[in-house]
Structure 1
Amino acid sequence: MSVKVEKKTDSYLKDTIQKLLERSRESGSVFWRDIAIRLSSSRKNYATVNLGKLQRIASDDDIIVIPGYLLSSGVFNKKIKVSAFKISEKALKKLNDAGSEFVNLVDLASENPKGTNIKIIR
């Protein structure tokens, strides 16, 4: 499957996809390529996850990647590390209040180039 970066108009999205593909090539891991492919698809196919879903699915100290948007609906009180393409302000506040950490996708790819022990939530 090819990654169609040139069709995207959002420069932040294009940059994120290209950097994830670079990390994938450098590390030989398909994990970040998969995330880049998901982000290069149509926006209607992006994951839209609420904090309530993370509360049900995630355990403390998990690392979660959301190839799409993280929204604030629901109660959240776990200590996890979350990475998503975009996050709402309320969701970020709830994460910080719970003691969780939000990390940019590219930064997480730099921290964990192989993508080990990371869960993808859709």
Structure 2
Amino acid sequence: MSRTGNPILDSNIHTLMQVHKKSSAKIWLSAIECLSRSNARRVLANVGKISRLTKDGDLVLVPGKVLGGGTIVHKVTVGAYSFSEKASWKIQKAGGKTLSLGGFVKKFPHGREVILVGG
């Protein structure tokens, strides 16, 4: 298991590894790889990018931080390592849901129909 020095990040990576072992979904390995990168190479995704890549009702995984740039008008469920306040507000205002990475993985462990953004 990767030791990043950040106990929250290590816990998320550990959770992803456990879910991958049970489901064998490759999306979780991709997410682990993204989270294990250095801070300078970590994934950043704007709300506008999520909006362009998704449609109403999609499940989105961002193995990094979601930022508030852009707009979104359809409902999506987004799981991410972290959210800016503005990004969380915009997603919820559009009727979507924001979940922590651990919460998202526990709610959708199969990994089917999950769109990986920024990976």
Indicate the residue corresponding to 1:19 in structure 2.
Answer: 15
CA root-mean-square deviation: 1.3
Q: Which structure 2 residues correspond to residues 58-97 of structure 1 after superposition, within 5 A? A: 58-97=54-93
Match of 1:102 among 89, 98, 101: 98
Structure 1 residue matching 2:16: 3-state secondary structure:
helix
Tell me how far apart the structure 2 counterparts of residues 37 and 56 of structure 1 sit (CA, whole Å). Answer: 24
Report the CA distance between 1:47 and its aligned residue.
1.5
Paired residues of 2:34 and 2:63 also in contact (CA < 8 A): yes
Structure 1 residue matching 2:65: 3-state secondary structure:
strand
Q: Matched residues, percent identical?
A: 26
- Unmatched tracts of structure 2, length 5 or more: none
Report the CA distance between 1:114 and its aligned residue.
2.0
Provide Cα deviations, 1:21-71, integer angstroms capped at 9, x if missing partner. 011112222221221121012122222111111222211111111111100
Q: Are 2:46 and 1:50 equivalent residues in the alignment?
A: yes
Structure 1 window deviating more from structure 2 (43-52 vs 65-74): it is 43-52
Number of residue pairs matched by the alignment: 118
Write the letter of the residue equivalent to 1:34: S
Tell me how far apart the structure 1 counterparts of residues 102 and 5 of structure 2 sit (CA, whole Å). Answer: 19
Report the TM-score, using the length of structure 2 for normalisation.
0.91
Write the letter of the residue equivalent to 1:120: L
Write the letter of the residue equivalent to 2:93: D
Paired residues of 1:31 and 1:114 also in contact (CA < 8 A): no
Match of 1:113 among 105, 109, 114: 109
Tell me how far apart the structure 2 counterparts of residues 108 and 89 of structure 1 sit (CA, whole Å). Answer: 18
Structure 1 residue matching 2:82: 3-state secondary structure:
strand
- Unmatched tracts of structure 1, length 5 or more: none
Structure 2 residue matching 1:66: 3-state secondary structure:
strand
Tell me how far apart the structure 1 counterparts of residues 105 and 52 of structure 2 sit (CA, whole Å). Answer: 25
